Chain A
Amino acid sequence: MSALQPHLPALQVIVPMLTAPLVALLRERQFSWLVTTAASLCAFAVAIALTMVVLEQGTISYEMGSWPPPFGIALSIDAVSALLLLVVTGASSLALIAGATSLQAQCESDRQPLFYAAWLLALAGLCGILVTADAFNIFVFMEISSLASYVLVAGGPDRRALPAVFKYLVMGTIGATFYLIGVGVIYLMTGTLNLADMEVRIQQVGEFQPFLIAAAFITVGMALKAAIFPLHVWLPNAYTFAPHVVTVFFAACATKVSLYVLLRLDFVVFQQNVGGHDVQFAYFMLPLSVLAILIASAVAIFEANLKRLFAWSSVAQIGYITLGASLISQAGLTASLLHMFNHALAKGALFLALACLAMSVAKLRVDEIGGIARRMPWTMAAFVVGGLSLIGVPGTAGFISKWYLIQAAFGAGSVGIALIIIILISSLMAVVYIWRVVETAYFGEAANDEAREAPLAILVPTWIAVALNIFFGLHPNLPVELSSRAAAVLLGTGP
């Protein structure tokens, strides 16, 4: 173990990436699932080890192939990346453990090994974005994960997945290309691609106009990928028609990794150098966040398809994350990063519960789940706890991040009071759309007499996610510590 210790940052990417072609060669469903899950758990273990090192010693730097930066590609892991590495690898592992049963109902046996290979590539890409310290390397990993995720989303049995994934592909590619233009402009001006090096060299250039253009391209490109309102149009359909396990994985982490790139570039590279950029960022993000929170929650209230309902709710929750970031304060960023962690827990649990539900109610429409709680008590109980966490009821993880967000808003003066009112209104809207489902499931007339409780293989991971929601609601030390350190890193005030 100690011999591997210095190479953990590289292993984080290499393990899933090298396992992917291996899994593609396996022709047996069970075995390929086993190998994939093992690789994902391995990545999770690496992420935990890295987090422990980061908490102890601060930022980890790693020179790929011993080429010193800025010539070689450097990997660097600080509190921001550690927090998201935990979310990504954890969500992937939990979704995979639940995945075998759920996927069997949605995907033919002989296609599954290839499906798992694409999953591992998506995981490798997402981890790669988080560990690398090179702007172009981020683009490459982003495209690896995106291409793999298009394949995963298109794996769903519903034919409407195909137009949805085409839209996702077009918008995702435009987003990535915008990012590439932004990076190109920075490279033109500074001659470097290393993020830390950029930060230093931008100051030496002195001419800030091109950097504002680069910042605009990168912000819009990443906003497309992160589904920030109003650039979210690909998300609801892609989440709805993807296989259920894929939705669990992506809802928990895919958009958050794009948000990570946005925050990393905007805060570390631009705001500390380009004068007035923080104000521009706030004026750009704040209205969009508020609109996302209110409009997407309102749409969710009237949505009949359960998966699409929670996809819209995800758009609203991304609004909370950007809202915290747009306050540009230690408290605001802490709340934002904390919400990335806690929202992943809540949405992961909810979509896992939906995957359980889908074993009996294939179409997942609200009017088809009448009285289903009497037949699937465990599933619906998990759903209720996940829902409470999403609303932000005390005792669940969701409460912690909303509490931090409200505290951060208090620090923002008179605008903050308006923001608090908006947060409270949207929490009430969340109560409405969760309650609508709960009411139908518990008190509605029985619409389905053949429903049976979901198999244990998928029910157990769901309850693990639920237990984590309660655990981190009562003992929030780890995520709070990580996110406040991460906020300090982004603001340039911490190690």
Chain B
Amino acid sequence: MAVGFWQRLDQLGRNMLPFSVTVMAMLLSMMPLPLPGYSMVTPPLVLMSLFYWVIHRPDLLRPLVVFALGIFYDLIAGTLLGVSSMSLILAYWLLITQRRFFLGRSFVMLWIGFAVVSIGAGAVQWIVYALTEARLLDARPVLVQWLLGVALFPLPTYLFQRLHRAYLS
């Protein structure tokens, strides 16, 4: 009985990994860094984490969880409530339908895939904000953020992979 309990707890902890990694990514992306303009173009760490886990372990990151994460992000970051949920859920949906395509492909394909998904997410946010403000907004921060995200993509993904191999295989 006791063994069963601890085993289950252990398994639960391991299964929580994608979720906790995404939460950490969310908090990390809010850290103030004294770089000029950094807060405008913070790399989308949450999206990177989502991208990795949805492709490799979609069973451990459910759509409702993703939605809730988006809401938490909006609440803490002071962004319009629902925007992050929407962009994350759309990314989730896109990934889950294209998952087979990405599985087993080379890293470069994943990289290109992330570039596509993240520009999509950026565009969704831009459109929502432009609609709520009823005017065209400067799209340059979105583009810079996208480039930065794509450029940094390999590093967090490498870390996710290490974590994945260490705890979930």
Partners in one complex: no
